[in-house]
Every structure is written in structure tokens, then in C-alpha cells.
Amino acid sequence: MPLAGAGSTRDYLGRVGDVFMDPATLTPAGKAAMEFNTQSFDARSLRQILQTEYDAYALKKLYYTQERALAQADVTAPVEADDTAVTQTLETMFGQPVDPDFALRAAVRQVHPAGFRKPLSYSLWAQDSPAPVAFVLSGLGGHRHSTRALALAEMAHLEGYHVICFSNNLNWEFIQAAPAGFLPGYVNDDIKLIKQLHTAAAAQLAATLGAGQVVGKPAVMGFSMGAWYTLNLCATSPAGTYSKALSINPPLDLTYGLKALDRLYRAPAGRDDLAAVQASALTKLLMNQNATAQTGFQPGFTDLEASYLIGLSYRFTLRNTILTGLDLKRSRGVYRRVDPLSYEDYYDHILRPRLLA
């Protein structure tokens, strides 16, 4: 509810009693200050969610319902944990910039290449002295201010580069600005648009900073799907276009990689304890929301739990890709139709017909 925030009928009724039991309500200004102070602890994470998520409300609703169910049930998560490739992959969530305010130091600018429906924003971290440019390519569906993109951008900036980062081609921000009819996932189209954006941003940067402030040839780097695009950029550009290229954990085959995400999401499917695995995974995720690379996950995840969470995360990405690509309105009815779709469904029934039309 507006102002009151997330809550169930039970919660709102309980808050009525809280008003009369809380002495601070006798001084409205003091109560408001206390509430502001409480909310300030979540300001940084809230800001990132609002910036990077296509439907922040839906994500908040999922988080609240799971958190509330956990509080009401007063349960503890199972202690079982595995050490597998999948559980280690889940640890990539610890990838974030060393400087917690690094995102705030970015200058947000826009370019409008020919054919794009509207200008597309990018994040820039410029150097104070002459430097080459480094283009950072986000992972699958990643926003330019996602934590892993920021971590890579920070490393490049510390190495002395002007850093430019756009959101990934499957991200809602990219799709909303892309040419009419664009659907991401076809490498030839994706690479063509990335090259247009990089050319426009580099020219804008040189014009803004002035003569001699951008030197040498650019570097390009990315991780996951961004790493795959990095390899394709280098392979389809003339020799010597880039001074350096860094490709971190690229899929050897994009189609196989996306099908692997579908398999991860479906890993617990068909089990008699499916609901228990899903509940345990989400419960552990909530309990680990303040975990760090130093502490690790406490409690840890089983292979099935990690598979489900990784698959679920990328299903949210796919949902946003389909909603923005097909210009569908956000509603529960639309979500019910879109959520069952897999990446294989997207390629076979949405992207391929569009390419063949």
C-alpha cells in the first residue's frame, strides 16, 4: 500500500495496535525521524533495485512474501550443503566493487545512434588525465549498474581507463531504446548494435573531454554473455581494433549455455519434495542476504537449491526480455502466460519467427 509499504491484512491490523502502544506516535515529527532513520539502512540497496530492475514491485513482492512466510513459520533452514560447480557458481553474487559508492561516481550519459528508437543511457567513469577507453559488457540481461558489471568497471578504472558500460542486449533498458522490432539473441544483430553504441559513445567522450584526453585504441572486456560478445566483437572487427580483450567465463556455445539455464531451473522438477526444495532455497537465500565473500554462505546451499536459484534468477531476466521485446503490459495475467516460457521457447517460438518473417 502507498506509504504503509508491503504487508498482509494481518500485518495492517497489527499496525493499528502498534500505533497506540508506541510512545513515539505522540510526537509525529520524532516518529517520522525514527522511520526515516530505519529506512536509511536500506537506501543503497533500494536505489540499486529501482535503477536496475524492470519491475521492482514484483521483485519486492516476492521478497516480502517469502520473508513474511519465514517469519510466521519461525523455521530454520536445513543444514545440508554441497560443494559443487553449481553451488560455487552461486558465489558469484559476492562479486561487487570494493568501493560501495562506485556506482554513484559514474556520469550517466546518453547516445542516440541511427535507427534506435530513443537515446540509450550508459555509465561513464572518466579519468582526470589522458587515458584509453575500456568498454565493459554486462552478463546475460545485466544492467550497467549490476554488481558484477560495476566490479569489472572498477577494476578497469583503477587500471587507468576511461570506462564505458551499457546494459546487456537482453536487458530491458537496452531493448526499450533499440530499433523497432528488435529482439535480442541473434548474434549478428546484437553485435551490430553494440558496435554502433561503442562508436557513438567513444566519439561523444572525445568531444566532451577535449583533444588529447582519449588516447590509444580501446580495450573491451566482459563476463558470461558479455564475455561471449567480447569474443565476437574481436572476431568480427578488423585486426588491431582493440588494444586488449578480456573474456571471463564465456559460454562456448550460447544456445547450449541458455539451455543449461533451463536445465538448472528444472533440476528439482518431478521430485516429490519439489516444494520443500524451493522453500529451502528461498529461505537460505533470505538468511544469507548479508553474507560476504569473507563469511561465505551460512547456511550453505545444496546442489539442487543452487540450481533452482540460478535458474530462477535468469527466468526473471527472460521475463523482462519478453515483456519489453513484445511491448507487453505488466500484469499478473501476462506474468502467468510468460513465466512458464524457457529460453528454448524464446528462441523457437519468439525470436526465430521474427527473424524469418
What is the set of domains in the chain, with CATH numbers? 85-93+255-356 (no CATH), 95-250 (3.40.50.1820)
Contacts of 272 (CB under 8 A, 6+ apart): none
Q: Concatenated DSSP letters for 103-151?
A: GGGPEEEEE--TT-SS-EEEEEE--SS-B-EEEEE--TT--TTSHHHHH
pLDDT tops 70 at residue 47 = no
Give per-residue pLDDT as tens, 72-97: 555 566 778 888 989 998 888 778 89
Distance CA 345, CA 352 (A): 10
Give per-residue pLDDT as tens, 187-235: 999 999 999 999 999 999 999 999 899 999 999 999 999 999 999 999 9
Give per-residue pLDDT as tens, 164-195: 999 999 999 999 999 999 999 999 999 999 99
Prior bond of 299 cis (ω within 30°): yes
Which of these, 162, 143, 157, lies nearest to 208 by C-alpha position? 162
Q: Read off the pTM.
A: 0.82
Supply 107's cell numbers.
556520469
- Confidence band for 54, pLDDT divided at 50, 70 and 90: low
pLDDT tops 80 at residue 134 = yes
Distance CA 186, CA 196 (A): 16
Give per-residue pLDDT as tens, 259-281: 899 999 898 888 888 888 888 88
3-state secondary structure of 185: coil
